[in-house]
Chain A
Amino acid sequence: MNHSDAPSLTVALCTRNPRRDYLDRVLSGLREQTLPFARWELLLVDNASSVPLRESVDLGWHPRARHVLEACVGFCPAKHRAIREAAGAIMVYVDDDNVLDPDYLQAALALFEANPRYGCVSGTQRPEYEIQPPAWFRGEYESWIAVRHLTRDLFSNFWHPLSEPCGAGMVVRREIVLPIALRSEAMDQACFEKNFGVRPPTEDVEFSHAALDAGFFVGQTPSLRLTHLIGASRLNERYLFGLYRNNIATGRWLSARRAKGSSVSMSPREAFREVLKLLFKDRIGRRLAWERLMAFLIARHAYRVWLRTL
C-alpha cells in the first residue's frame, strides 16, 4: 500500500470474550458510518478470547478491516498493539459496548483536521441501561462508568478534571501514543493486574497525559456522540463500588508514579476525615468513604510492588 492510500483514521476495537449481541450492535454502528470506508481502517483486536473472534466475526463488509490477535491479556497490551498495527494518523478507540453515532468518524476527522493542536478528545456517551441502575447512581456518579452528557466544548492544555477525555470513543493522534506503545509499559500493568485482579483504566489517562506533555490540547466535545451499552451485570452495587475503588486506586497509583510517590500516602487528617464519614454519613457516603480507604491501601501496596520491580 503506498502512502497516499493510507487511511486517515484507524478504529481500534479491543475486546475479550465480548457479549455477542453487544458486539453485533457495535459493528453495525461502525458499518453505518458516513465516512467512506476508504478513509478509515478497522482493527478488531481479539485479546485472547476463549473462542477466537477470527472464526466467528465476519469483517468482510469492510475492505480495510483486519483481525489482530493479542495474546497478552489486558487493556493496555491490546490498545498498544492496535497503535503498533495502525496505518492511520488518528486512532479512534471503540470499546465492545460503544455504538458510535453514524457521523462519529466524520466528525472526529473534521475536528482533528480543523484543529491541528487537538491531541486527545472524547465526546458525549449516552447510557443504554439493560436494567435500571440503583437510584443513587444516576447523575453525578454515572461518570464512573463512562457516561457523560456534554453541552459544550471543554478543552485545556493542562490536566483539568472537567476537560479530561474518557477512554470510550477516545480519539487520539497516533504520533502522541506511539512512543508509549513502543516502550514496554505493559510490564507495569501486568504487575498491577497480577497482584490485584483489577483492570486499571490507566491507558486513557496515560494517553491524555502524553498529549499534554507533547504540547497538545485535550478535551471533550459534544460533536462526538456514542451510545454506551451497559449490561445488567455491571449495574449492581458490588460492581459499581468496585469500579469506584479501582478508579481511585489506579489514579493515585499513577500519579504516585508520575510524582515519585508524593500522593500515594494518605495524610492523617485525610484519613481522619474519611473515618468521620464512615461514622456519620448516610449509607452511600459510608460505603464511598470505605472504598476510598481501601483504594488508598491498594494504591500504596501497588506502588511498593512496582518500586521493587524497577
Chain B
Amino acid sequence: MTSEHRDQTPARLSVILCSHNPRRDYLDRVLEGLRHQTLPVASWELLLVDSASVPPLVGRVNLDWHPGHRFLRNGLPGLTLARLEGIREAAADLLVFVDDDNVLSPDYLSTALRIGSTHPFLGVWGGSVIPVYETPPPSWLNEFEHVLSCGINTRDSWSNVPSLSDPWVIGAGMVIRKPVALAWAASVGSSPGRMSLGRRGNSLMGAEDLDIVLTACEMGQGRGAFKDLTLDHLIPPVRCTEEYIERLLRMNTASMEILKKARGLPTAPPPGEGSLGSFLRNLLNGMRRLRMGRIARMKDRAHRDGLALARGTMSSTTTP
C-alpha cells in the first residue's frame, strides 16, 4: 500500500487528549503511551485539545510521529468544553477520551476497537484505571482510590439500565460511539446544570462522564466495564493529601447531586427541620460523629458540604 493510499484510509478511532496546563513530564509519558500503541497509527487519529493552557501547547509538543495528529485550541478552560471541541472535530466512528495523566497500555486502542465490534449493543465502555503514585501513598488513601477515578475490573460487565450504578464507566480512557457523543454534545448545551459539570481551571467538578454514560443508556445502548482494557493513572503527591481528597469528595458529591437534579433523578432529601424525627436523626448523627476517626469525620464533612454546595448552586441557577 502506498503512503497516499494509507493517508486516505479513514481513521477507525479518534483519540481526544484534553489538557490544561499539563505537567510536562506527565504529558510526555501520556504521549509515549500513545506512541507505543499496537494499533497502527494509520487506523487512528490523535486530537490534542489544548484547553486554554498558558503558554499554548502548540509548538511545545511534538506530535510529528503521528501522521494523523491535529492541535485544537479552546480559549476557555473546562474539560466539558474541550471534549465538545474534540467531538466536533473527530472523524472516526469511535472516540477515546484520554486525560493528560492517563498512560494507556499498549493494546488499549486495539482492544477498544475489538470490543466495539464484538459488543455492538454498547454505546460507551471503559476499563481498569490503575493508580501510579509518584511517592508511596498514605495507607488511609486506599479507600479513596475510587474517588481518584481508579478501580480495577475483575470481570467484564455491562448493562443498559439507565441508573448511576455498576458498571461504572469513567472519563479516563472512555470509549464512546460517535452517535452517542453527538447526542450528548447536542443536548448538554441546553442545560446549565450539566454544562457546569467537569473540571474547569482549579475547580474539581466532575460527573460529566456519567452524564455521557446516561445519554448512552437513554439511547438504548449499554455501558460496559472490561478487564482487558487498562491504563495507568499518574497521581502526584499533592493529590494524596487529606486536604485535596476532602475537596475532591466535596465536589464529587456536589456534581453528582447537580447531575441528578439536571436529569430529574431522585436527589438527597433536604435536611429536615422542626420534626421530632429529624431532631432524633440529627442527635444520632451527632453521636455517631463523636465516635468517628479523623478520616471518617473528613468524609462525613465533605459529603455534607458537597450536598450544601449543590443546593446553593442549584437554587442560585433556578432563582430568576
Contacts and interface: CB of A to CB of B under 8 A. Distances in A.
Interface of A: 152-158, 160, 162-163, 276, 280
A155 B276 contact: no
A156 B161 contact: yes
Nearest to B163: A162
B interface, by DSSP: helix, strand, loop or mixed? loop
B157 A157 contact: yes
Nearest to B160: A155
B55 to A, nearest CB: 47
Given A154-B160, A155-B159, A160 B166 contact: yes
Given A152-B220, A276-B280, A280-B277, A157 B161 contact: no
Contacts of B8: none
Contacts of B155: 158
5 contacts: A153-B220, A155-B222, A158-B166, A163-B159, A280-B277
B274 to A, nearest CB: 14
Nearest to B161: A162
Nearest to B165: A160
B93 interface: no
A160 B161 contact: yes
Nearest to B155: A158
A274 B165 CA distance: 25
B134 interface: no
B7 interface: no
A95 B280 CA distance: 47
B157 A154 contact: no
Nearest to A117: B121
A268 to B, nearest CB: 13
B159 A157 contact: yes
Contacts of A163: 159-161
A interface, by DSSP: helix, strand, loop or mixed? mixed
A160 B160 CA distance: 10
A44 B280 CA distance: 56
Given A152-B220, A155-B222, A160-B166, A280 B159 contact: no
Interface residues of B, number: 17
Interface string B155-172: 111111101011100000
B163 to A, nearest CB: 6
Please list the 10 inter-chain residue pairs (A to B) with the smallest Cβ-Cβ separation, ordered nearest first.
Answer: A156-B159, A162-B161, A158-B157, A280-B277, A154-B161, A163-B161, A160-B161, A157-B158, A160-B159, A155-B160
A277 to B, nearest CB: 10
**Which of B156, B158, B160, B166 has the most chain A CB within a 10 Å cutoff?**
B160
Nearest to B219: A152
B276 A280 contact: yes
Contacts of A155: 121, 159-161, 222
Given A155-B160, A157-B158, 5 more contacts: A153-B220, A156-B157, A158-B159, A160-B161, A162-B161
Contacts of B220: 152-153
A158 B163 CA distance: 14
B170 to A, nearest CB: 18
Contacts of A158: 155, 157, 159, 166-167
A117 to B, nearest CB: 9
A88 to B, nearest CB: 26
A306 to B, nearest CB: 28
Nearest to A155: B160
Contacts of A152: 220
Interface in B273-295: 276-277, 280
B152 to A, nearest CB: 16
Contacts of A160: 159, 161, 163, 165-166
Contacts of B161: 154-156, 160, 162-163
Interface string B258-285: 0000000000000000001100100000
B156 A157 contact: yes
Contacts of B165: 160
